[in-house]
Each structure stands twice: as C-alpha cells, then as structure tokens.
Structure 1
C-alpha cells in the first residue's frame, strides 16, 4: 500500500503543504510567547501567584510533552492530514475556553487541553513537510518552516502587548480562532492525506509513554513550589523512570512499536534530541524570565516590553530560513554547535549587564546574539532528527524530538523559576533583577552544555553516509509495510 504523498505532487500542493504546516507551528509558538508576555497582567487581573503563572505555561507544556509521541502515532494510523486538522480544531476550541476563563484554575485547565491539541499539530507539521519535499530540499523547506514559526515568536510579544494594553488579555486567545478555522478548511480542501507504516495503534505503548512522560514532567512542574527533595517530586521521578523503562521494554516486543529503538543507535538522531533538550531548557526558561524582566524589573508596559523583546524574538524569522538552506550544503552540525555557543554567550552577557536602571541599548547586543544562536539551531536540529530516519517514520522522529524539546522547556521554567526565587523576588525591581541575573547565568551554562552535545553530532559526510535515504523501513516495521 502507499504510505506517503506521491513524489510527483504538483508544485501548488507542495507549497500549500509548506504554508499550512508552517501555520500550525506558527499558532503553537505564538500562543506560548503571547501568554508569556501576559504573565504580569494575569498576575494582577486573576490574582495569580508565581505558581499559578508557572502553571499557565507548564500546564500547556505538560500535556504537550506527554502526548507528543501519541499525536505522531495517531497521524500514522488515522491519516496525517486528518489528525492535523483535528489537532488544530482542539487547539482552536480550547483557545475559546481560555478566552472565557474567569479564574486561574479554569485558564490552566483550558491550557492543558490546548497543549493536547498542539501535541497532535506540531509533530505532524514536520511529517507533512518531510513527506512533500525531496531530501535535497528538505533543509530549505524546514528553514522556511522555522522562519514562519519564528514569525509567531517575533510577533507574540508585540501582538500581546498591543492586545493587553488596548483591548484585554482575553484577546490573546481569541486571535487563534480565525487562523485555526482557516487552516482547518484549507487543509481539507488542498492537502492529500497520507499514513505511516503502522496499521495498528500500539495501545499498550500509548498508555505507558503517556503515564511515564506525565510523571517525568510533573516532577519539575511541582518542584519550584514544594522543593526538589519533597516525596511527591521524588516519587514522580521514580515512577516516571520505571514506566519509561517498561515502555522501552515493551517497544522491543511490540509488533508495531511507536518508537523503533534502533533509531537511538544513530548518532545523528541521539545528538539532535540531546541538543533539542538543552536548547529548549535555556530558551523557554529564559522566555519566562525575560518577558517579566522588561515589565517587573524595568517598568515597561506590555506593548513597550513586546517591542523591546523583538530584537531577540525576530532573529528566528530572519536567520532560520538562511540556516536551513545552508544546512543542505554544509550540514547541520556547525549550526547546532555554534548556535548554542552564541545563545549561551548572549544570555551570559545579558545576565552580567542586567540591573534595575540598565539602559535598553545595553541589552540590545546580548539579545541579538542570543537570538541569532537560537535561530541557527531551531531548523537544523529539526532537519537533523528527521534526516536520521526513513521518511516513512518522520512523524515518529518529529514526535520524539518535540517530546524531548518540550520536556526541556518544562525543566527550564521550573529550574530557572527556582533559581530566581532563591535569589530574588517580586518585592522590588532590584530584587527581581538580582534573581533574574542568577537565573540567566544558569540558562547560559545549559546552552553551552548543549553545544558540547552538538559537537558529538556527525558532520555532513558522516550524516550522508548514514542517511537511510528514505528508502529503508526499520526491521520492526517490515511486516507492517507488507500489510
């Protein structure tokens, strides 16, 4: 049976796939940044404490990380286009629920459902693109995907600031509704459906991986409030590790595994996932802190803060398409390694110059340097991970990578919030900036560690030699391919 879109798909179909898949990534990235910009407003309007603010981010990330592999598996089983449309629909409807929330509890619950929808959407964006483009053009296509995603990151602070200042915080969620509805209609009208190699859904694997990832992400989400030594955190980590071991053991026995374990023997696959964890830890944790720093630490209103953050968040929109295109020629490793060095160096520079009365011009340089680094890594780590497996399993690869990345984001927010709380607080700008400085030093160190992982990645020649060239199917799925 055919398991992918026809190679001779018309150019209009290819372009439509790229645009519509990128819009899904745009929606999910925009929402994270817009909500981060709104944190001080939510703190006052909903009487939220630090834990509540963390949960508006981590409730989303918890569902996102826990269900990412399941979202990819559902796309392979029931059709990638169809599940993509369903995921966008869930995301859109939950955005309405967020906008109608009148308390932090209802907002957090709606954000969890949003995260579930995003867990279906995001891995399938890369699957749809990988399925539509030949290998030699995939890096450029993923670079464009990264640029459009970067547009969501760049537009988020400014759009959020405009909405919060001139309308109301609820409209940071209402804006998702027309975009989501348009994407759903156009996908059904313009895109062909495709499926993976698994004719059956691994229900045991789904249950084990969801429970494991939930426990492993619950621990860092709760740790800032109750402490890393609390029995609840320790038990969650132990249970998560045991369930993950059970999941991996089951994957060796399952007839149609969600995650073929032989992929982890690929240096390209393993290092790309390691890079994604450290990138997201540093990036999402910093985003949580920087969005508040401009408002609480420096006294800007939401719109002023959004405009000033733009020099950081606009870099993926400008640099990612270039990095993605060049990676097809010189490989992904240089961009991942030097990108993380720039990210870490920029964040360390930012930490060292931050103080209550610092001039904005002093912050521009470090923000640009960190942003360029992030933009270099973002598309190339995605290209590296999907390029390390057969195209038929690009959804599995993307799901794994995004699961690791979201897990990194959860740990990043939790750890940096804990470092901030241990060194500062919200009592005064000086107290905030003192905690911010300590948190960003940690974020910088984590990015540099990620650069060390990237240094272990294969170079272009090695990656090309190991490339499964989209023709091979893992041994565990050969039976499925014949069904």
Structure 2
C-alpha cells in the first residue's frame, strides 16, 4: 500500500505507457489492409504475407510470461523503455526491407520489443491504482486495446494509398521517440521484486507454440501431407501440443519459481478472464484478414476505402469506452463483458451473411457498428476482472499471463484463418485456388471468380464467430468481485444496526 501512496497522481504515467501500447497493438492488425500491396511489391503469396503478422504475434506472445517477471525484477519503467527502443528500431528495419523473408525477420524483432512493453502497462495499473479505482484505469487500457485493433486497418489504408506500405512501419519511429521521452519523464520507478527465471519453461513454451502455429498455418499449403521425409503437418501440430503439455507439467513440478504461476488460476475470475481474452484475441485478429481481402479483391476498393468500412466500429468503441469504464467498478463484470461477447459473434455471423459482390456497401455498416458495441463492452471488464485480485508481488507475472493468453489467441487466430481461407478458396474456386492465393490478389478478380472468392471470405468469418462463443460462456461464469461484496456488506451492516 505504501507504494501506491507515493504516487500522488498515477494518470500521467498511464497515459505515457498506453501511447506505446497503442502503437504495438496497431501493428497487430495494420498489415491486413496492406496485404495486396505487399503481395505485389515483394512477389509473395498470401500465406507468406500472413506470416508477416503471425511471426510478429508469435514473437510477441512467447516471451510475455518472462517479460512480466523481468518487469517485477528490474522495474516496469526500465523494461518498458528497452522494449520501446527495440520496437522502434525494428519498425524502421521493417520499412527498409526488400524481400518478404527480411520483413518476416524484422517483424520477429518488433514482436520481441512489444513483449517487453505490454505487461508493464498492466503492472503499473495494478501497482499504482487502488482496487476501487482500477476499473477506470483499466477502462483506458481496454479502450486503447479495442480502438487500436480497429485503427490499425484504417491507418494502414491511408498510409498504403498515400505513401506506400513501408509507411505502416515508418510511422512508428516518431511515435516511438515521443513515447520514449514521455515515459522517461512521467513513469515512476516502482519497487522491484527478486525472481528466479525458468529458462526451461521459456524453451518449452517457445518450441511448442512454434510447432503448433506453423503446423496450423502451413497445413493447407502442404495439403496436410508430407513436408520433408516423414515429417507431416499433422505431426508438427501433435508435437506442438505434446511439448506444451510437457511445459504445463514442468510448471506444476517446478518448485523454485515457474514461468507460468499456476496458483494464479485458483482465482476463478482470473482463469475465466484469460479464457475470455484469448477468444477475443483470436476473433479480432482472424476477422480482419478475410474482411480486408474481400473489400479490395471482390469489391475493388482502395486500401483507404476498405479500411474506412471500419469507421463505425472505431467511433462506437471510442464513445462507449468512458461509459463502460465508469460502470466497471460498480456493475458485475458478467453483465458488462456478457453484452460485448454476445454482440461479437452475432455481428460476425451477420457480416458473413451480407457479404456480396454486388449489394450496396451500406448493408455492411450495421453489423460493423455492432462490432463497435462488442469492442466497447469487452476489453475493460475483462482486463479489470483479471487483475483485480492480483497480489502486488505478482502484478507483473499476472499481467504477463493475461497478455500471453490474449496473444496466444491472436497467434492461433492468424494461423487458423490463413489455413481456412486457403481451404475455402480452393473449394470455391476449384482449380483456381492456388492462383488466387498468389500475387494476383493485388488486382481485381475476373468476374467469374468474384462470387466464389466472396463466398470463401464469408465462410471464413464464421470461424472467429464460433470462437467468440467460447469467450461468452466464460464471462457468464464470472463471480462478483470482492470489493463489490464488501461494499454491499458495508451498506447492509449500518442498516441492520439502525434497525
């Protein structure tokens, strides 16, 4: 508690941190709208371009468990600044690359920088705001997360049309410099806690995630058959699952300090919030690819006009953020998050139903607006509920776990939607599936292929809708937070005494 009392006003520090957080989340989705341009300029195929996002998300997700601990050990401010420097430098590298392979490698380093930064934002909230005010602080964090995933494609469209796809990365450089200066000036130095580091756990989690994601994403490319010799895509997926299972067993028996503190999951709301945010990460990441490809390939829209389809979603999410933030400290999170995760699958199924090569574009705006409602009600209550009961010495670890599950969901969403899109294109376009997934995506399709491409993208949207239902089930099982129960008791006891 003394640590919090030393920080008279924690809000300036939080604003400084969420600037960097906003930037790294924008980069999770900004590539989706630039896909056709990158396909043309770097002579790549769709699967390679999806790896530009998957490599970033994978490098972002795997280290989060340990970077949360590193923030506890060396101070969240110090680790945030190192991560921001790595991320900004890697962004410059991304814009300067000349091949798809170089771009993928540069994105890996971007992801590593993002992994150092993200847990520190939640850890600062947990360690500087009292539980009764944490909902408002987390609503800002949640609003930034929600808006950033929507702004990414919009900003990307404007930059690709106006300056070229390289500028979706160059734009991070000045923002990163400003964010670094603000963090140096405004973020306080917090007490550090000694931790040991589970290097075997890091290795197992990294290998397991890579095998799983590579297997899912590359499955359709290799027809789920032989890659080289006896190694098949299915065996890679199975191996990934086995390695991750070994990781969990090791975390259980590691008596020093496991990378994944399983004891955190004894808190029911923490466990359920992690299920919820992983489904949200999967859904939001996966939906962007088919939607942006549909807009540019089927309807022939420019990147900017394609991205502008998401404006209703971004505006509604931004407008709802302060309202939901005020509710988060007073209303049962089951009801707030439940509204968002009910609207999410409904909006995606609705969107899939109205995608058409010829119908008016405005038919899409209502389901996209409903997506804005979903985003406005999801992020803040999930983040607040996950971190509400975290002990101070595990703030970094808990934030690392929460952000890891979100990013694991995003990685799996990116990999799964790539495989599904290729599968549906092959089915709907018959023999043209392979050609349609190549560089020709940078141009409008022949008239005869438009309906098949349209149907493939619409069918692909049903996968994130189905995963969103898992998150809905999880949040409907939330318990009432302890501070609400105590507050109700405090009101009841005087009333009984007066009686």
Whether 1:132 aligns to 2:153 is no
Please list every run of 5 or more consecutive structure 1 residues that lacks an aligned counterpart in the other structure: 466-483
- Aligned position for 1:458: 479
Task: Indicate the residue corresponding to 2:439 in structure 1.
Answer: none
Correspondence 1:421-436 to 2 at 5 A: 421-424=422-425, 426=436, 427=445, 428-436=449-457
Other-structure match for 1:34: 30
Alignment correspondent of 1:477: none
Partner of residue 383, structure 1 = 384
Work out whether residues 277 and 382 of structure 2, in 8 Å CA contact, stay in contact via their aligned partners in 1: yes
Aligned length: 461
Between structure 1 and structure 2, the one with the greater Rg is 2
SS of structure 2 residue aligned to 1:38: helix
- Counterpart position of 1:52: 48
Alpha-carbon distance in structure 1 between the residues aligned to 2:59 and 2:47: 17
Partners of 2:224 and 2:270 lie apart in 1 by 31
Shift of 1:211: 3.0
8 Å CA contact 1:278–1:450 kept in 2: the answer is yes
CA contact (8 A) 2:145 2:379 kept: no
1:445 aligns with one of 457, 466, 487:
466
Could you tell me which of 176, 195, 199 is aligned with 2:172?
A: 176
Query: Is 1:160 the equivalent of 2:179?
Result: no
State the TM-score, normalizing by the size of structure 2: 0.87
CA distance in structure 2 between the aligned counterparts of 1:257 and 1:196, rounded to whole angstroms: 18
**What CA deviation, in whole Å up to 9, does each residue of 1:251-270 have, x standing for no partner?**
34332333321222221111
Alpha-carbon distance between aligned partners in 1 of 2:192 and 2:209, rounded to the nearest angstrom: 23
Q: Is the 8 A contact 1:66 1:214 kept in 2?
A: no
Deviation at 1:138, TM superposition (A): 0.8
Counterpart in the other structure of 1:248: 248
Partner of 2:236: 236
How much is the aligned-residue C-alpha RMSD, in angstroms? 2.2
How far residue 107 of structure 1 moved from its aligned partner, in angstroms, is: 0.6
Matched ranges for 1:345-384 at <5 A: 345-384=346-385
User: Of the candidates 105, 116, 122, which is equivalent to residue 118 of structure 2?
Assistant: 122
Give 3-state SS (helix, strand or coil) of 1:358's partner.
coil
- Alpha-carbon distance change, 196 to 240 in structure 1, aligned in 2, over 3 angstroms: farther
Match of 2:97 among 92, 98, 101: 101
2:8 is aligned to: 10
Partner of residue 109, structure 2: 113
Q: Provide, for residues 137-185 of structure 1, a one-character-per-residue CA deviation record: whole Å limited to 9, x for no partner.
A: 1111111122234443343333222221121211111110111112222
User: CA deviation digits over 1:227-254, x for unaligned, max 9?
Assistant: 4566443333343334334433333433
Give the whole-Å Cα distance in 1 for the aligned partners of 2:256 and 2:14: 33
Indicate the larger mover: 299-308 or 251-260. 251-260
Contact 1:271 1:453 in 2 (8 A): yes
| Cα contact 1:26–1:152 (8 A) shared by 2 | yes
Contact 1:153 1:314 in 2 (8 A): no
Checking the alignment, whether the CA contact within 8 Å between 2:217 and 2:418 is kept in structure 1 is no
C-alpha contact (below 8 Å) 2:196/2:257 kept by paired residues: yes
- Call closer, same or farther: CA 1:283–1:199 in 2, change over 3 Å: closer
**TM-score, with length taken from structure 1:** 0.89
CA contact (8 A) 1:346 1:369 kept: yes
| 1:290 match | 291
* Contact persistence 2:344–2:371 (CA under 8 A): yes
| Residues 182-197 of structure 1: pairs in structure 2 closer than 5 A | 182-195=178-191, 197=193
Residue deviations 1:386-445 (CA, integer Å, cap 9, x gap): 124223322222211221122212222222233322323545332221101111122222
User: Contact conserved, 1:5 with 1:193, CA < 8 A, in 2?
Assistant: no
- C-alpha displacement at 1:24, in angstroms? 1.7
